[in-house]
């Protein structure tokens, strides 16, 4: 992690106000990840930082919706295939929860933009494991440090974050 990257992400994404998070929690600040994901240079720089955190794996699994651009860029950087994980399996066509390629018997790393409590990741991990994926690691752009790491650990998932809330706040002082 470099403070210049954390500062660029903070300056681009940090919003203040009153925000309801996916977890249901209310926060006075919000990191709008789509603001960095929509900037090609910053998206690539964050993805490069995330690539350094990857364990040995066979497939990247981008979480709908914010994990998809990150996983796509990471796939380009590493040559690893990627799948796109839906919040719910579609009810038509292939009825898949993970689109793109096979995961059965493969070492899959979940890719997420921002982790708060990890609830959506836990549900997606359970879906992927039920179809044979070997999932042990989540790599995210930002860990809000609000219980996600601990909640994921209960299900034997290790969280690796390119940036944490502390990193973003410390970058203001650097």
Q: Would you give the DSSP letter of residue 96?
A: -
Is 86 annotated in a binding site? The answer is: yes
Known binding residue 16? Answer is: no
Q: Are 81 and 170 in contact (CB under 8 A)?
A: no
3-state secondary structure of 2: coil
Instruction: Consult the annotation and say whether 96 binds a ligand.
Output: no
Give residue 156's region: left, alpha or beta (phi > 0; psi -120 to 50). Answer: left
On whether 115 is known to bind a ligand per the annotation, the reply is yes
Q: Residue 76 in 3-state DSSP?
A: helix
114 among annotated binding-site residues: yes
Q: State how far the Cα of 154 lies from the Cα of 54, in Å rounded to an integer.
A: 20
- Say whether 112 counts as a known binding-site residue: yes
Residue 169 assigned ligand-binding role? no
Instruction: Flag whether 64 is marked binding.
Output: no
Phi, psi for 132 (deg, rounded to 5): 100, 5
Report whether 118 belongs to an annotated binding site: yes
Count CB neighbours of 40 within 10 A.
10
66 by Cβ neighbours in 10 Å (0-12 / 13-18 / 19+) ranks as buried
Residue 78 is assigned to a ligand binding site? no
- Residue ranges of the annotated binding site are 22, 86-87, 90, 112-120, 144
- Residue ranges of the annotated binding site for orotate are 116, 144
- Residue ranges of the annotated binding site for 5-phospho-alpha-D-ribose 1-diphosphate are 22, 86-87, 90, 112-120
């Amino acid at each position: 992690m470099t403070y210049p990257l954390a500062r660029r992400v903070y300056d681009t994404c940090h919003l203040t106000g009153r925000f309801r998070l996916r977890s249901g929690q209310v926060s006075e600040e919000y990191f709008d990840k789509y603001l960095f994901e929509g900037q090609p240079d910053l998206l690539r720089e964050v993805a490069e930082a995330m690539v350094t955190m990857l364990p040995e794996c066979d497939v990247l699994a981008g979480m709908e919706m914010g994990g998809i651009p990150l996983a796509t860029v990471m796939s380009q950087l590493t040559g690893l295939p990627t799948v796109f994980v839906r919040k719910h399996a579609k009810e038509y066509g292939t009825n898949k929860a993970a689109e793109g390629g096979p995961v059965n018997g493969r070492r899959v790393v979940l890719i997420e933009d921002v982790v708060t409590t990890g609830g959506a990741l836990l549900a997606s991990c359970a879906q992927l494991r039920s179809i044979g994926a070997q999932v042990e690691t989540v790599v995210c752009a930002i860990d809000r440090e609000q219980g996600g790491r601990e909640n994921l650990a209960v299900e034997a998932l290790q969280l690796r974050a390119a940036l944490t809330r502390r990193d973003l706040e410390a970058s203001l002082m650097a």
